[in-house]
Structure 1
Amino acid sequence: MSTSKHICLLGDSIFDNKIYVPDGNSVHEHLLANLTSPDTASLIAVDGAVVDSVFRQIERIPEAATDLVISVGGNDALYLQSSVMGEISDSVYSALGRMKAAIATFEREYQQVIGKLLQFKLPLTVCTIYDCVPGLDDPSLAGLAIINDIITRTAFKNSLDLIDLRLLCNDPTDYSPISPIEPSHEGGAKIAAAIVRAVTGNSVSTKVFC
């Protein structure tokens, strides 16, 4: 007998994007529409969340949860962009050194969050941060690459399924016209479909063993 699914979405506005799609469906709504009763999904993610705030979300994971999906880090990246990336440096080498030092906090907190989620002994899927946002400049892309390296390394180290939003949300229509860093109705549909593939065992993600 198959067991019903209760998917929990944690993280930021990648999942909690309803306010940015007033005339469409949010990721959570798309996901519910893609599930067959009695399967369901809970939205625990909060718009504006950073990695450190996910610890409070973890406290709200229901006992009925069967699968956990997390997408977080974009707001941490925005903070780094407004602080570290605005500093003047005398060389690229020096700038990269400062960036690495600044990202150390994100790396530590992200690994701690994943460690906490693994304690639930439930299937866990993580998401990268997408980088096809309209108007995103090259320095921002470089910064995101460093953050995404941390996310992917953490996923591979723990043999987790990975939804690569960089490849999934690859069209301008995937982003909300209200706020270009949020998923649109179309982008949300892609993300929800990828979540379903991941939790039903039909994911095309690859686990890397070293």
Structure 2
Amino acid sequence: MSHLVLLGDATFDNGAYTAGGPAVISQVRKRIPVGWRATLVAVDGATIADIGAQLARLPADAERLFLSVGGNDLLQQADILGAPVTTSAEAFDLLGAAARRFEAAYRDMLRPCLQIDRHMAICTVYSGNFPEPTLQRLAEIALAPFNDAIIRIGVEHGLTILDLRLICSAPADYANPIEPSAIGGGKIAEAIVSAAKNDKTRLRSARIIG
């Protein structure tokens, strides 16, 4: 029997945004094989700093961890997009410095997770669904170095990486600019269960699912 546990933020804890539709955890439970279990530990609004507290609430028989976190950390740094600069090099430097801080925090957060499941799955931060085309393009560009850090860390540790930019790629996948709808949640759930079913060998080899 496998016990899947979802850690992180509203990417998984999206029940408040589905307008009565099924949340990610409900859709995961409908898709997993008989005898498997799935538990939601993720909390809407959580940041990288909150994952330690979530690990303290893990079920004793947790076997397979899925983690989606970082989006709220990036929202807290959104003012970078409006920071005054005189050259494009200064803008890149600001973004690069923020990405380096993010990567360091993500690495520190991930270390105790790997002690529980050294072949866990992690998620990139999706691009969202902003109504203004310019803001959407800026979000996609600004997210790139942070998602690069997540992917690089995942590859280094041989983890499964769910690229949510590819999984949640249509407007209907979002209930608002930054939260997954029931439709998007269904796609996320499908990716989670597919990763869990196909990860039988637990080989130390990274793979990206999108």
Q: Does the TM-score normalized on the shorter chain lie above 0.5? A: yes
- CA offset digits 1:118-158 (Å, max 9, x no partner): 11145300111111524343222211111101100010010
Larger deviation, residues 7-16 vs 83-92: 83-92
Name the aligned partner's letter for residue 90 of structure 1: T
Within a 5 Å distance, the mapping from 1:1-210 to structure 2 comes to 4-81=1-78, 83-135=79-131, 136-176=135-175, 179-201=176-198, 207=207
Cα 1:21–1:29 shift into 2, 3 Å: same
Alignment check: 8 A CA contact 1:16 1:28 kept: yes
Secondary structure (helix, strand or coil) at the match of 2:46 reads coil
Alignment check: 8 A CA contact 2:10 2:46 kept: yes
Distance 1:93 1:40 in 2: 49
Name the aligned partner's letter for residue 21 of structure 2: G
- CA offset digits 1:79-127 (Å, max 9, x no partner): 111x222210001111111122223321111111211111114530011
- Provide structure 2 residue ranges, at least 5 long, that are not aligned to the other structure: none
* CA RMSD, Structure 1 to Structure 2 (Å): 1.8
Alignment check: 8 A CA contact 2:64 2:117 kept: no
Secondary structure (helix, strand or coil) at the match of 1:119 reads helix
Larger deviation, residues 91-100 vs 102-111: 102-111
Alignment check: 8 A CA contact 2:157 2:206 kept: no
* Equivalent pairs, count: 201
Q: TM-score, normalised by structure 2?
A: 0.89
Note the C-alpha offset of 1:73.
0.9
Larger deviation, residues 89-98 vs 113-122: 113-122
Alignment check: 8 A CA contact 1:66 1:123 kept: no
The list of structure 1 runs, each at least 4 consecutive aligned residues, that deviate by more than 4 angstroms after superposition, is none
Distance 1:52 1:7 in 2: 22
Q: TM-score, normalised by structure 1?
A: 0.89
Secondary structure (helix, strand or coil) at the match of 2:76 reads helix
Task: Report % sequence identity.
Answer: 36
Distance 2:35 2:108 in 1: 32
Note the C-alpha offset of 1:55.
1.4
Name the aligned partner's letter for residue 121 of structure 2: T
